[in-house]
Amino acid sequence: MTQSPDPTAVALRGVVKRFGEQTVLDGLSLDVPRGEFLAIVGPSGSGKTTAMRVIGGFETPDEGSVWISGEDVTGLPAERRDVNTVFQSYALFPHLSVLDNVAYGPRMRGVPRAERRRQAGELLDLVRLSGAADRKPNQLSGGMQQRVALARALANQPAVLLLDEPLGALDRKLREEMQRELRRIQTELGATFIYITHDQEEAFGMADRLAVMRDGRFAQIGDPATLYDEPVDAWVALFLGSANRISATRGVGDELHSDLGPLAAAHIAADLQAGDRAIVIIRPEQTRFERPTAGLAAPNRIPARILDIVTLGPSLRLRAVTAGGVEFESIERRGDHRDDRAGLSSGDAVSVTFDVSAARAYRAGTEPLPIGPSS
């Protein structure tokens, strides 16, 4: 096989995939280093599952190439690639014990019985299920079945493990537990995981890097903190997490003009010129509601009234609305007793404020939702 000059666990080079007249993957390129936990996120229809299927060999690209561990595997079927996949449906063999389910892959490769059972036992130890080796899958909880499926996928020692929405069928508490377990197992093995999910919280909690997909392309790839704090455009900023947003026009320097009053942003996109329509984005945890003070209007001080204050466990979510109907959200820790917020309740007048350093301004027109609070 052709050898890549710079072997990585996975490399995509200009991958295009079409279904009929629809282009689902549009020139996709990606490098995944060995031992990385990469999460691919994106809205429905963005192409993330198709990208996984191309890597796994379940779909053949119309253009471009796929490399696994430095080898061009573009034309190889799934069973001939050094890749295993864990789906949301665990697909365990109901008539086999847990141990024999895990040992099935090595058995198909001709590994002697004693050796494959030893390997399966070690993997059950890894996923903390050694006490369930003799049970059948229908005797296990959903979380336990998920761990068996993971151990079975790892039994073939693949160069890459693909995980397609594997926790989607679990309840919230069990899903959070499995997130920790997946990260622990990946770290202990030093394995390469590519995780497909629509759940951003899962992705942020586990991945070394995130790849955000939009319309068959990667909109941005980077570590979770960078993507959240420094989104490349308004679409990524609004897709990842919650955000307050304001329609504005760029002025001079860091100044922006809006119907809500003067604004200032420290981070202004390079393609945003004076007079251009802009969208200003501020995260809720960087937004404050303060009692209004008398005096002239100052940048980043917007008059509004409290809609509601809701306790979210250790945090408070405060919502306010301007006279023109623009809503803002503020998230703060409970116990942060500030004099400027003491005693606030629904209907009270406030000033919505944020630091210049917290505001990011982008060219308008790329955001996926109308102006207003992001969901």
pLDDT digits 0-9 by tens, 266-306: 999 999 999 999 999 999 999 999 988 766 568 899 999 99
The answer to whether residue 372 scores a pLDDT higher than 60 is: no
Report whether 116 contacts 110 (CB < 8 A): no
State pLDDT tens for residues 12-36: 999 999 999 999 999 999 999 999 9
* Interstrand relation of 209-214 and 37-41 (parallel, antiparallel or unpaired): parallel
Calculate mean pLDDT across residues 48-68: 95
Superfamily of domain 231-363: Nucleic acid-binding proteins (2.40.50.140)
pLDDT of residue 375: 29
Position 340 pLDDT exceeds 70: no
Q: Which residue has the higher pLDDT, 168 or 131?
A: 131
Percent of the chain scoring above 70 in pLDDT: 92
Question: How far is CA 373 from each of CA 29, 48, 52, 283, 287, rounded to the nearest angstrom?
Answer: 33, 26, 32, 10, 12
Q: Please say whether the beta carbons of 170 and 180 come within 8 A.
A: no
pLDDT at residue number 180: 85
Report residue 251: phi and psi, to 5°. -105, -135
Counting Cα atoms < 13 Å in the Cβ hemisphere of 328 gives 33
**117-131, 218-232, 355-369: range with lowest mean pLDDT:** 355-369
With H, G, I as helix, E, B as strand and everything else as coil, classify residue 149.
helix
Q: Which regions of the chain carry the CATH code 3.40.50.300?
A: 10-228
Residues carrying CATH 2.40.50.140, the chain: 231-363
* Contact yes or no for 350/306 (Cβ under 8 A): yes
Q: Encoding tokens for residue 51? A: 């990208």
Does residue 105 sit in helix, strand or coil?
helix
pLDDT at 373: 40
CATH class, domain 10-228, is alpha beta
Residue linked to tokens 């295009």: 16
Q: Identify which of 354, 233, 336 has the alpha carbon closest to the alpha carbon of residue 284.
A: 354
pLDDT at 374: 39
